[in-house]
């Protein structure tokens, strides 16, 4: 039976040793897209003892607890904080964010004692994401890279899936392929564009020419627990020290579904 939490957490991302997949793209023009598919998460466990769904509507301003949290990047002074829950400008949803790739890692603890897991979550790109970079504005912007990784104890994080996303139709992205293996139109693999309301929001920069203010993806991952029966912390870490400010490029997470078992 599923557990639905209006959730307190610590911040998250997850992943494992298998492919990410998403719903079909809907980016034939710049009109808002709202149709969200509901594919089941991948099967990571045959017997799933843990089946939890985290949503952030109606939970106040902070998501704290032991499952999901946020940390500043290594080398940046600061302590771990409960992620901030914010409302989309048009009130359509609440999510944890907005984060800068240069500063924040979102982590989620996979329940200890389970050899297999599956994870699904919504990932929002907000603002002027530059995808593979080097294609617009005379090539002055570098790639905007999203890195899904896992971390076992105090060991270094290990990357599971790294890719780039673009919110500008003049700039390609790597997703749904891995970083430097793409060449896709902006928002390929997304389920909605301009559905959160950031296109006309003064807190976010949407380039005027053929750009989306926000793009929504559902990412999934499933596989063996890489740390055996130990508690596992998966991270969304960042790979691009040139990521711009929150006004220009930010991201958020929503609707986290985690299963674990045998």
Chain segment 73-132, per-residue pLDDT in tens: 554 444 556 778 999 999 999 998 888 766 677 777 777 788 888 888 899 999 999 888
Nearest to 55, CA basis, from 20, 3, 98: 3
**pLDDT value for 147:** 83
The residues with which 125 forms a beta bridge, in sequence order, are 215, 251
CA distance 131 to 210: 14
Higher pLDDT, 45 or 88: 88
Non-local CB neighbours of 67 within 8 Å, separated by 6+ positions: 9, 10, 12, 52, 54, 108, 109
Whether residue 192 has pLDDT greater than 90: yes
Is residue 13 within 8 Å of residue 236, measured between CB atoms? yes
What pLDDT is attached to residue 150? 80
pLDDT, residue 84, reads 84
User: Is the pLDDT at 242 greater than 70, yes or no?
Assistant: no
Q: For residue 137, what are its two tokens?
A: 């504005």
pLDDT of residue 41: 54
Q: What is the torsional sign of CA 93, 97, 100, 106?
A: negative
**More confidently predicted of 61 and 213:** 213
At 78 the pLDDT is 46
Of 11, 24, 44, the C-alpha closest to 191 is 24
Confidence of residue 258 (pLDDT cuts 50, 70, 90): confident
For residue 190, pLDDT over 90 is answered with: yes
| Per-residue pLDDT tens over the stretch 142-188 | 788 888 888 787 787 788 888 889 999 988 999 999 888 888 999 99
Choice between 41 and 58, residue whose per-residue pLDDT is larger: 58
What 56-62 contacts at long range (C-beta under 8 Å, 24+ apart), as own/partner pairs, is 56/6, 56/7, 56/85, 56/93, 56/94, 56/95, 56/96, 56/254, 57/6, 57/93, 57/94, 58/6, 58/94, 59/6, 59/7, 59/8, 59/85, 59/94, 60/85, 61/85, 61/86, 62/8
Mean per-residue pLDDT for 206-214? 91
CB 261 within 8 A of CB 113: no
Burial of 50: CB neighbours in 10 Å, binned 0-12, 13-18, 19+? middle
Cα-based distances in Å from 178 to 27, 114, 171, 230, 241: 20, 28, 16, 28, 19
Helix (H, G, I), strand (E, B) or coil at 40: coil
């Amino acid at each position: 039976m599923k557990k639905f939490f209006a959730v307190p957490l610590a911040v998250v991302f997850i992943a494992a040793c298998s492919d990410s997949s998403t719903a079909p793209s809907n980016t034939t023009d710049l009109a808002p897209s709202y149709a969200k598919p509901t594919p089941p998460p991948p099967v990571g466990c045959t017997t799933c003892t843990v089946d939890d769904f985290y949503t952030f509507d109606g939970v106040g301003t902070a998501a704290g607890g032991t499952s999901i949290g946020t940390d500043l990047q290594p080398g940046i002074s600061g302590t771990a904080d409960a992620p901030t829950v914010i409302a989309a400008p048009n009130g359509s949803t609440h999510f944890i964010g907005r984060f800068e790739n240069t500063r924040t890692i979102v982590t989620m603890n996979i329940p200890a004692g389970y050899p297999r897991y599956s994870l699904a979550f919504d990932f929002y790109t907000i603002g002027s994401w530059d995808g593979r970079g080097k294609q617009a504005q005379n090539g002055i912007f570098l790639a905007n890279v999203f890195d899904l990784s896992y971390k076992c104890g105090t060991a270094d994080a290990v990357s599971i899936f790294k890719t780039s996303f673009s919110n500008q139709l003049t700039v390609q992205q790597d997703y749904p392929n891995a970083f430097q293996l793409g060449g896709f139109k902006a928002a390929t693999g997304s389920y909605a564009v301009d559905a959160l309301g950031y296109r006309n929001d003064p807190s976010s920069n949407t380039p005027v020419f053929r750009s989306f203010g926000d793009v929504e993806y559902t990412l999934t991952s499933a596989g063996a627990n890489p740390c055996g029966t130990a508690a596992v912390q998966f991270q969304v870490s960042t790979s691009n020290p040139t990521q711009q400010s929150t006004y220009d490029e930010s991201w958020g997470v929503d609707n986290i579904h985690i299963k674990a078992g045998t």
